[in-house]
Amino acid sequence: MKLPNVEKTLLLVDDEADIREVLTLALADLGYRVTSAENGTTALPLFLDIRPPVVITDIKMPGMDGIELLSRIKAADPDAEVIMITGHGDLDLAIMSLKNQATDFITKPINVDALEIALRRAEERIILRRQLKAYTERLEQLVQEKAALKDHLSSLGMMLGSISHGIKGLLTSLDGGLYLVESGFVRKHEDTVEEGWQIVKQTVERIRKLMLDILFYTKKRKFTFTQVAVGTFCKELADEMVAKLRRRKIRFRPLFTAQLGAFAIDADYLRAALGNILDNAIDACETLEGESAGQIDLRVTADDERVYFEVRDNGIGMEPAVLNNLFTVFYSTKGKSGTGLGLFVANQVVEQHGGKIRVRSQPGRGTRFRVMVPRSPLVEA
């Protein structure tokens, strides 16, 4: 049987020139490229230089003997296969070399068949070791793939659960709006129709936002940066807030001027990101106990290089545990009415604009989000 793919380089070490000559010929017949040396001292640098997978060495040599050479080779390369040549009656030395990790030993005078068998054993060990290494690597790869798949499945499960929750909440509020519209029609009560209609419109808006968040989460979106006037962008954000707050007790103050210059952004995504932060401020104020009036400020300032959005609310605020998980995907304290995608998406969007979000909050007192967006994105989206 011919053994596949083992590099047939071999280092032969013996102090007797005749033996080196005869063995080199025999080994060449077996297909080996042989380099030879006359003792351990000359053999070691040769070994380190050519790194043959197999070494055949005499044990008894002047200078560095075979045992010493064996241990030096094994120290440099534990995988090297070293076959020892022993004289008659050197059984003790042979056993000592086997203890020192020699592959095999053959006795003088050398029988070529015995040599071939020893070499074949060495080659089989080399091949086995390679296969084992390949299997181990494959196994490691499989284990990694399995872990990735598990992660993927569990985040998919979490996403489905969270989204179903969100949609359930949205359906409840759509039902509520539709009920008002319907009963308003029946009773010819225009205000009730109007109230219901506003709820329907707002819920549709929330569904749109949820879809945008989900799309953002499931696909790596490509951003399209265009030059936008900061004032116009802020005005749109503020108008949206005013519409949302029409029938609520929350006071909203847009605090910015039209003279804020321009910045290069993906307006749809950045609007959604800031919208998510503003929505949270609304939720935080609505959860306020008692009659205390909710207040939300949107302040926008800018310098030569950056635009700063500040969203301040006097709502429920956050405990440190909530603050620490703010940007974690699917983290929500809102039960049915939150998916926990809002700030995760907002953070990603702002980061992809080269910006940063900073948050300060006190339980019971309120929260301040600060969003810095560079005028031109430093990172390529």
Region 322-341 residues binding ligand ATP, contact defined as CB under 6 A: 322, 326, 331-334, 338-341
> Is position 212 an interface residue for ligand ATP (rule: CB under 6 A)?
no
- Which residues, 117 to 156, sit near ligand ATP by CB under 6 A? none
How far, in Å, CA of 180 to CA of 196, rounded? 5
Residues that bind ligand ATP (rule: CB under 6 A) add up to a total of 23
Interface residue with Mg ion among 162, 280, 348, 352 (CB under 5 A) is: 280
Name the residue whose CB lies closest to Mg ion.
342
Does 315 participate in binding Mg ion (rule CB under 5 A)? no
For residue 17, give the 3-state DSSP assignment. Answer: helix
Closer by beta carbon to ligand ATP, 237 or else 318: 318
Tell me, residue by residue from 350 to 369, as one string, x for binding to ligand ATP by CB under 6 A and - for no binding.
-----------------x--
CA distance 32 to 52: 11
| Helix residue ranges, H only, the chain | 17-29, 40-50, 66-76, 91-99, 112-186, 190-218, 230-244, 267-286, 320-325, 342-352
- The conformation of residue 249, written as its DSSP 8-state character, comes to S
C-alpha distances out from residue 348 to 43, 213, 345, Å: 61, 11, 5
Q: Work out which of 216, 313, 314, 375 binds ligand ATP, going by CB under 6 A.
A: 313
Handedness of CA 329, 332, 338, 344 (dihedral sign): negative
Strand partners, 81: 54
Question: Least separation, in Å, of the C-beta of 191 and ligand ATP?
Answer: 29
Structure tokens at 277: 């932060």
Tell me if 280 contacts ligand ATP by CB under 6 A.
yes
* Residues in CB range of 120: below 8 A, 6 or more apart: 3
Give kind and range of the element (H or E) at residue 92. helix 91-99
Q: Tell me the C-alpha to C-alpha distance, in Å, between residue 213 and each of 41, 89, 221.
A: 71, 82, 11
**Under rule CB under 6 A, residue 316 binds ligand ATP:** yes
- Look at residue 377 and give the partner it binds from ligand ATP, Mg ion, none, a contact being a CB closer than 5 to 8 Å depending on partner kind: none
Q: Which stretch binds Mg ion (CB under 5 A): 12-20, 199-207, 261-269, 280-288?
A: 280-288
Give the pair of three-digit tokens for residue 332.
């929500």
Q: Which of 184, 196, 342, 355 binds Mg ion (CB under 5 A)?
A: 342
The per-type count for the chain, helices as H runs and strands as E runs, is: 10, 12
Residues 181-210 that bind ligand ATP (CB under 6 A): none
The site partner of 332 among Mg ion, ligand ATP, none (C-beta below 5 to 8 Å per kind) is ligand ATP
Q: CA angle, corner 229, sides to 228 and 233, nearest 5?
A: 85
From ligand ATP, Mg ion, none, interface partner of 354 (C-beta below 5 to 8 A by class): none
The yes or no reply on residue 217 touching ligand ATP (CB under 6 A) is: no
* Interface residues toward ligand ATP, by CB under 6 A: 276, 280-281, 284, 313, 315-318, 322, 326, 331-334, 338-344, 367
